[in-house]
Structure 1
Amino acid sequence: MLMTHNSRLSVAPMMDWTDRHCRYFHRQLSRHAQLYTEMVTAPALVRGNALHLLAHDPAEQPVVLQLGGSDPGELAQAARMGWEAGYQEINLNCGCPSDRVQSGCFGAVLMKTPDLVAEICAAMRAACPAEITVKCRIGVDEQVPADILPVFLEKIRAAGISHVIIHARKAWLQGLSPKDNREIPPLDHALVLAMKQQFPDLSISLNGGVNDLEQAASLLEQGLDGVMIGRAAYQRPGDLLLGADQRIFGATEGPDLDGALDAMRRYIAQELVQGARLAAITRHMLGLFAGQPGARQWRRILSEQAHRAGAGLEVLDAARAAVAQAQSGAEAAQV
């Protein structure tokens, strides 16, 4: 079943960032936002049997597994494995521009072969009951987005895809680094909005250049079905996710900061017993107080102390106390 409601706001799949600890943390800030795994390659699952890459806590749901690859049969097998691991929605990566995915002939390079993408999507849909979705760019290299994107969408719609996430920038596969590809090609939100008008039966989410909830709400009001936020949600999770349930999903209430931190304290205690390192979890929490009194102390304590051997809950408690002290001082200064 398509998680259309949850996809009104989602946190983008980001390599080295949206691991299971990050997703658990983000879920404490929003009950409704759709979360994504890091991209998992189909060869790693099918040939490498790397089932640990599918690990997730049921509390992360709704969470989408993103797969990378270019072989229809292999991706079908990987999709089945994802479904059996508990993922109800599986996304095909047609947007990542890194050298690694280019060498494997998948990611953004698939924008050049819409017929292959359609074949992949059909194979994945036939392999399991999970909802299959696609994340793509508006085009790559010398392609004219206004010409190529409608063709791409027509092909995948014919293959049974009903939800697509469009990163509103071209990807330059030669000459730009993955980082530059996230920043240099100009954004074209208008083209994505036009695609929604041209394909009203498709659920279309926009990714790229969205930095706050008000901007996300505005795009939804203009007719888009969803907004996906990447780096801003990771670097300023308090700003982007706390309050999202009320602003974007219309909930009467949502998680609060103290409750989220209490939940993370319990989670960290459990993970430390199982051998996790504190820094592996708290690195995702560094931006929680961005722009607030105490943010610098919070980051400093976690950055300097969480990686030390044997670091435990006392580090989190010290960082939390430093924030409370800084915020109390700021409030007193305003009186």
Structure 2
Amino acid sequence: MLPFQPHRFSVAPMMDWSDRHCRSLHRTLSRHALLYSEMVTSGAVVHGDREKLLGFEADQNPVALQLGGSDPAELALAARIGEDFGYDEINLNVGCPSDRVQSGRFGACLMREPNLVAECMAAIRQAVSVPATVKCRIGVDDQEPEESLFALVDASAAAGVDSFVVHARKAWLKGLSPKENRDIPPLDYELVYRLKRERPNLTIVINGGVTDLDAVEAHLAHVDGVMLGRSAYHEAGLLGAVDRRVFGAAVADVSEFEAVERYKPYIARRLAEGVHLAAMTRHMLGLFHGLPGARAWRRILTVEGVPAGAGIEVVDRALAAVRQALEAREARFAEA
């Protein structure tokens, strides 16, 4: 058992991004961060290819499975399957604003049905022994967030749920795309802080608009945990300081170069299983963000990593290009 509380820092569930390859890369950078799966519908888990949807590496824990759905019995079965696969937490999505989830009666539209969410969570809790949590918005459309957020949390808490991840922004299901819903309307961090103050017995994790570890540390003065989304993906290198700065672990930060070396054995294993190189390296494109050689790194991985048969040598060439750029910068500084 880890001596840390994983919810203190987590990487958000992100469709088409936080797959098993991405999580394996992120685990090379942080030992203690809680990693989330992409959202998987309960129906897909029950009826689909479970190994493809749920499988992950033994060293990836702690990792949470996020489910989408609104049928309590089906969610309970999917949760039990997820626990059997080794997930450390089962999370219900009550925040995704896409048209697809609206038509399926799950995601953010469930903010309007707090009693149904509570029923779903009660079923999940009864089905598994790992924590059952909710990820929600503060409201949808014309709801008053002060009412909708507390109604949802209180209903689920009455069903035995004690941990909530709150995206501090309303979702507009009419007239805005999922992309626009990441930036409109404004964030309301203070409401989430208030939720923690008024429900101190609950674990409250804040999400939305967090871009760096300075912001993470600032939020932790008010809530129990912080969930990082797009920045953790596009600038993955920042995760290398999470264990020291957020969890207080007595460890050195993990450099981008060290992360690549740790990730390469995983790449090699999966290549031997027939996985395409680009499926794994696409998650690495932002690893050297802001550093000399970052453009060459991205170019080599995207151009040379796509053809069939591309192997680990592509990663080595990209890494050599970054090292060369860094050495050239150091030489210029030395001359100055």
Task: Please confirm whether the aligned pair reaches a TM-score higher than 0.5, indicating the same fold.
Answer: yes
Structure 2 residue aligned with 1:324: 323
Q: Which residue of 2 aligns with 1:168?
A: 168
Aligned mates of 1:285, 1:72 — CA distance in 2: 37
Q: How does 1:168-317 map to 2 (within 5 A)?
A: 168-221=168-221, 223-239=222-238, 241-254=239-252, 255-317=254-316
**What pairs up with 1:127-166 in 2 under 5 angstroms?**
127-166=127-166
SS at match of 1:178: coil
- Residue type of the partner of 1:98? S
Question: How far off its partner does 1:51 sit?
Answer: 4.2
CA contact (8 A) 1:72 1:120 kept: yes
Q: Which stretch shifts more, 301-310 or 42-51? A: 42-51
Q: Which amino acid aligns with 1:124?
A: I
Number of the residue aligned with 2:59: 59
TM-superposition CA deviations, 1:201-229 (whole Å, max 9, x none): 000000001000011001102x2100001
Deviations 1:66-97 (A, max 9, x none): 00000001000100111111112100000000
For residue 184 of structure 1, report the CA deviation from its aligned partner: 1.5
Letter in 2 for 1:318: R
Q: 1:16: Cα distance to partner?
A: 0.3
Give, as a single letter, the amino acid of the residue that structure 2 aligns with 1:167: H
Q: Which runs of 5+ in 2 are unaligned?
A: none
One-letter code aligned to 2:66: Q
Alpha-carbon shift at residue 152 of structure 1 (Å):
1.2
Task: Please state whether the residue corresponding to 2:169 is helix, strand or coil.
Answer: coil
Residue identity in the other structure for 1:134 = V
- Amino acid across the alignment from 1:327: L
Q: Once the 2 structures are TM-superposed, how far is the Cα of residue 258 of structure 1 from its aligned partner?
A: 3.1
The CA RMSD measured in Å over matched residues stands at 1.4
Task: Judge conservation of contact 1:94–1:107 (CA < 8 Å) in 2.
Answer: yes
Verify the 8 A CA contact 1:45 1:51 in the aligned structure 2: no
Instruction: Count the aligned residue pairs.
Output: 333
Secondary structure, in 3 states, of the residue corresponding to 1:160? coil
Q: Deviations over 1:8-46 (max 9, x none)?
A: 111000000000000000000111111000001001122
Aligned-residue offset at 1:103: 0.5
Task: Give 1:151 shift.
Answer: 1.3
- Mapped contact 1:4–1:203 kept (Cα < 8 A): no
Percent identity for Structure 1 against Structure 2:
56
Change (3 A) 1:251 1:281: same
Distance verdict in 2 for CA 1:244–1:38, change over 3 Å: same
- 1:47 equivalent in structure 2: 47
| Alignment partners' CA distance in 1, 2:20 and 2:322 | 26
Once residues 305 and 102 of structure 2 are traced to their aligned partners in structure 1, the CA distance between those partners, rounded to angstroms, is 36
| Letter paired with 2:124 | M
String of CA shifts for 1:146-205, please: whole Å, max 9, x gaps: 121111111111111111000000001111000000112110011100100011000000
Conservation of the 8 A alpha-carbon contact between 1:208 and 1:230:
yes
For residue 176 of structure 2, what is the amino acid of its counterpart? L
Q: 1:111·1:139 contact (CA, 8 Å) conserved in 2?
A: yes
Aligned to 1:103: 103
Structure 1 stretch displaced more, 251-260 or 266-275: 251-260
d(CA) in 1 for partners of 2:275 and 2:56?
14
**Distance (Å, rounded) in 1 between the aligned partners of 2:121 and 2:326:** 51
Question: d(CA) in 2 for partners of 1:265 and 1:35?
Answer: 20
Provide the rounded CA distance (Å) in 2 between the counterparts of 1:289 and 1:227.
Answer: 23
Q: Does structure 2 retain, via aligned residues, the 8 Å contact 1:136–1:164?
A: yes
Stretches of 4+ aligned residues off by more than 4 angstroms: 1-4
